[in-house]
Amino acid sequence: MKYQQLGLIGCGLMGGSFALAMKQAGLVGRVVGYSKSPSTTERARQMGVIDQTAESALLAVAGSDIVLMAVPVAATDATFKAIRHLVKPDVLIMDVGSTKRDVVDAARRTLRERIGSFVPAHPIAGKELAGVEHADAQLYRDRQVILTPIAQTQPELVVQAERLWAALGCQVRTMSAEDHDAAFAAVSHLPHLLAFAYMAGVMQQKESEAFLQLAGPGFRDFTRIAASDPAIWRDILIANREEVLKQSERFRGALGVLEQTLKDCQGESLEALVQGVAQVRSHWRLNTRQK
Amino acid sequence: MKYQQLGLIGCGLMGGSFALAMKQAGLVGRVVGYSKSPSTTERARQMGVIDQTAESALLAVAGSDIVLMAVPVAATDATFKAIRHLVKPDVLIMDVGSTKRDVVDAARRTLRERIGSFVPAHPIAGKELAGVEHADAQLYRDRQVILTPIAQTQPELVVQAERLWAALGCQVRTMSAEDHDAAFAAVSHLPHLLAFAYMAGVMQQKESEAFLQLAGPGFRDFTRIAASDPAIWRDILIANREEVLKQSERFRGALGVLEQTLKDCQGESLEALVQGVAQVRSHWRLNTRQK
């Protein structure tokens, strides 16, 4: 399995890291890249992340046998429109979006009968530091990648995608876009929403600066995701808002139970509750390829 | 500044680490330790954390010129009662509790006119792994320690305490117990409550096991504190429940604002909100002695 040309649409952290990983693994001949901002594309070329710049998304697809769309979720629709005339059955097209129902919907609307080439993908990896400067050939190593093919997706392209991500050191899973979005609302999108809300609540207080100077390692880890990219998280949270709001509702219920134990000074109930979650959390391990 | 004998009441992670740090810094001649569980005391002795076991808290205080109470917050009252007959003006007594108003109240009730010896202390350090097995001479290094003396506290003992923690590599601050508890409700206790509630909400769902297998590095960091010691956190949350409930109320308001932007698909408001918190969070640094 070796591709002649990767067409990279979006040369930021996610796309740039994919290009570097593909090169390092010897899986691609050359990389042609396009980014909305010409300065990003140029920087990617200077850094050796891509070999050649393209003037448009369509030109990045021209002559490529594999295409990765690594653009903000909200730009998916426009990107599909820009490239659809060059989408051919033998070209593997993937995205890296954190939500999948909206991406699949956009693909249905835009690619129509050419949708079989598109294998929706979500690599569970990232950094708080966006931009091609932080691109890293190891970003995807030992991470999970979720593929959410639909009935029309060409099965051989799904197999290709599975092999490719596995060759980059990932553990690959396949599920429906609906199951994906429900699960990630619970384990990723809600935590981000809560971390944003928590920080906003602290910052509203006039003592917030003094408070933040006292914060320790627990705060550091709990709020790390509150420093995530605002535009990316705007798109994710709005794209998956129904599932996120369902999870938030459930969370409010659980918080209410805990608050009630405090109001009533019910030490035993509180301890039992914390014991239950602490046990599950202390046995949980990040699911990686190696473990 | 060198102490002849440290009386250690509670030989767990916090107490054991303090004893090891004092020894490593050459600040103490010997350590006499007592724990509620004789097996813990014995293990501490075998590990060299303490030099001699005491049969009671009172006997750990006898002959000591410095005493550290490293017991769960709820045991503070009983510990003060057990030792008060040997509390003398020239003996520095400190605790390590994460809440301070309740500790100061217990000291007032129990130590009465002997309260001047007690310097309430809260080192902002810890691990999810409790127990003397995890005691670590470096636990307090580069961490902050908050002292919350009251009007009756002997000033020279406050100075002693400041010097001592500084000698262990800590940055020392002094504030009122009230300010301390309000600040830590915001930056520590509420995050724990939210992490517990979040885990509880996820665990209620029948798909929770499948969900948790998909969770990534964001989840890992956000929920790390959900694995904290249940008995310790029961005590902290109940002791500081008024401030914690106030913070939780404020958090619910901030969460409500975010939820509303999702319901209304207000991408711009959502992004502006996230931008604001992301900026503050990305500039925040853990306050340590060196930076």
Alpha-carbon torsion (A221, A226, A228, A234), positive or negative: positive
- Across B75-125, the runs of DSSP E, i.e. the strands, are 92-95, 118-119, 121-123
Average pLDDT over residues B150-177: 97
pLDDT tens string A44-80: 999 999 999 999 999 999 999 999 999 988 889 999 9
Let me know whether B166 and B231 are in one domain.
no
Range of the domain at B226: 180-283
- Backbone phi, then psi, for B266, in 5-degree steps? -85, 80
A contact residues 232-251, partner B, Cβ 8 Å cutoff: 233-235, 237-238, 241, 244-245, 247-248, 250-251
| Separation CA A44–CA A66 (nearest Å) | 18
Q: Tell me the ipTM for this assembly.
A: 0.88
The pLDDT, as a whole number, for residue A288 is 67
Let me know whether A225 and A154 are in one domain.
no
pLDDT tens string B197-220: 999 999 999 999 999 999 998 999
Last residue of a domain, one of B150, B175, B200: B175
Please check the confidence at residue B233 and state whether its pLDDT lies above 90: yes
Nearest to A73 by CA among A224, A204, A184, A155: A184
Percent of chain B scoring above 70 in pLDDT: 98
A contact residues 25-64, partner B, Cβ 8 Å cutoff: none
Let me know whether B27 and B105 are in one domain.
yes
Domain total of chain A: 2
The pLDDT, as a whole number, for residue A130 is 77
Q: Which residues of B touch A195 (CB under 8 A)?
A: 222
B291 inside domain: no
One-letter amino acid at B126 equals: G
pLDDT tens string A5-39: 999 999 999 999 999 999 999 999 999 999 999 99
Last residue of a domain, one of B152, B175, B198: B175
Q: Which residues of A touch B121 (CB under 8 A)?
A: none
Q: Do B221 and A224 touch (CB under 8 A)?
A: yes
The pLDDT, as a whole number, for residue B290 is 43
Q: Do A207 and B252 touch (CB under 8 A)?
A: no
Q: Do A197 and B255 touch (CB under 8 A)?
A: yes
Rg of chain A over Cα atoms, rounded to whole angstroms, equals: 21
| In contact, B71 and B41? CB cutoff 8 Å | no
- The residue ranking higher by pLDDT, A127 or B80, is B80
Q: Which residue of A has its CA nearest to B258?
A: A197
The pLDDT, as a whole number, for residue A128 is 65
Q: Which residue of A has its CA nearest to B238?
A: A262
| Separation CA B254–CA B248 (nearest Å) | 10
A288 inside domain: no
| Separation CA A62–CA A52 (nearest Å) | 13
Query: Which stretches of chain A score pLDDT less than 50?
Result: 290-291
pLDDT tens string B15-63: 999 999 999 999 999 999 999 999 999 999 999 999 999 999 999 999 9
Let me know whether A170 and A192 are in one domain.
no
Q: Which residues of A touch B263 (CB under 8 A)?
A: 241, 245
Q: Do A218 and B225 touch (CB under 8 A)?
A: yes
